[in-house]
Structure 1
């Protein structure tokens, strides 16, 4: 039975900024799921190029994802304190603090992005950290796109439904990458997928998409038994050849270290789940010196580049969910068809 997204399968590939481009999205869409393109780290020119390539690669439905965070004010003093906290690691890996870039590395959905949505008309537009301003949201809806967004609590799900979301991603605490919370920073209010999905299903009338820790057909089946209308899967695709996952990241996913993931603000300034490495252990998972999202990432960039060049993942954001050790090194099409074995018939 076709999914509400217009796809053959009720499977959505989670947008994963930094480890994919249009190729992974196209491969998943061609296999019958909904491929997703992450746009939060792309300039308008880069996004136009990526959307053009994706539109050429598949005639099947696909989606594009944006952030809706509030851009922070410049914080030179805060960034200087953060660079100072990273000083010992800079010395260890011979990193020059002068190489630290300035300005935000991620930007929220804006008028330029809305114009590109009008041009390319994706089947789905998804958001992280709430929804854009009313006028921008109306532009997206006028293009015929289904609008979906992440909720980490029942309160956020109700807010999204009230403000115009056509479907809601119930993002459990197991999910890799950035938490989608936007009403409260209190992580104790957030729940695992097993608890969150049925509560969101009971609270809202729009379709519910389960996300977090789903990486096998059995996990997919369990999500539907909880009341989900579709599932969103990210980590399971990290070892696909169509993903742009770095060699260091791939090696960690294929090692025992994939069993230990944790939330941290060290790499961006917002809580995100990744494999635990040296930087997280030495600075703490929630270092108080880290400036607001996304400014914390500036000082991490040159440190990450230096360590990855040496074949080390000690200082990289190795995003992955709690099912990371279940990753398989297969094509995106094979992974999609395998996961579909857990979908209702």
Structure 2
């Protein structure tokens, strides 16, 4: 409401000034229109932030439409068949700790498969929002099986990978594991194995060779012992890559509460929530990666047309105004998928909305 009042005052003041100056009616109309467009954009940005903070009232699938802040219950779609591939091979050394090495078939400068920028916070991260504030020259993208085949991924750190955390995730002791590592992905997929765009959460647990995966979880081993499971999935629009500037992907985690992925496209938000007890990721999340990459392990590359350029922004919240640290590009990411865009420099900013920002282009 305060923002709305300020916007109306702004418009009124400018309109008054325009009436005092002998400007052409066309120019005056253009100025007034520009002010209205700016006010609308700021109001939409505020709505996006409020929707993320409020979050759905319970686990399950939800949607909300601007300017309404009430979440509407949606019927969840079929659980996604999507499976990502961790970028690092997690294996135990002689001390029982996890060691990692990068994997992937791409050039050293291209984003993904372990090479990326992540935002490291001073305290535990409670939420993160990824967006593309500037999109230039993007006309098409393709994966192994067709065009417009990609994922937006907002990924946490693998729990043992952030030195400040010290010991392993509390999930281990709470679920009978002597030691383990956890990793969570907030995902938007244009084709998740079922042909329909969805948003969902993918959970990963890395365990020892003598341990078993939790009941109902899938197993995947490639030099490590991994277990994974997907949350319910909410149906979302299939967004052409040329419209990436209109999307946001956010993840939130609350100890003893809910973990939520929220995908917004223009004036509509879609969300899916699961219990934080699924991985207890709220107790270990300090580093976040966001990017557009391939659509899962069967189509790991997102190939953009030549001349594409994206500005990637990742805003993070840890209860402080401190600027996060840009980690990377070497070992700066946790996704196994990648794209054909070369990373530029990363900058970090603090204040009301701490964030990192970088460019990638080809």
Sort the TM-score into its range (normalised by shorter chain): under 0.3
Query: Which gives a bigger RCO, structure 1 or 2 (Cα 8 Å, sep 6+)?
Result: 2
Greater Rg over alpha carbons, structure: 2
Choose between structure 1 and 2: higher strand proportion.
Answer: 2
Choose between structure 1 and 2: higher helix proportion.
Answer: 1
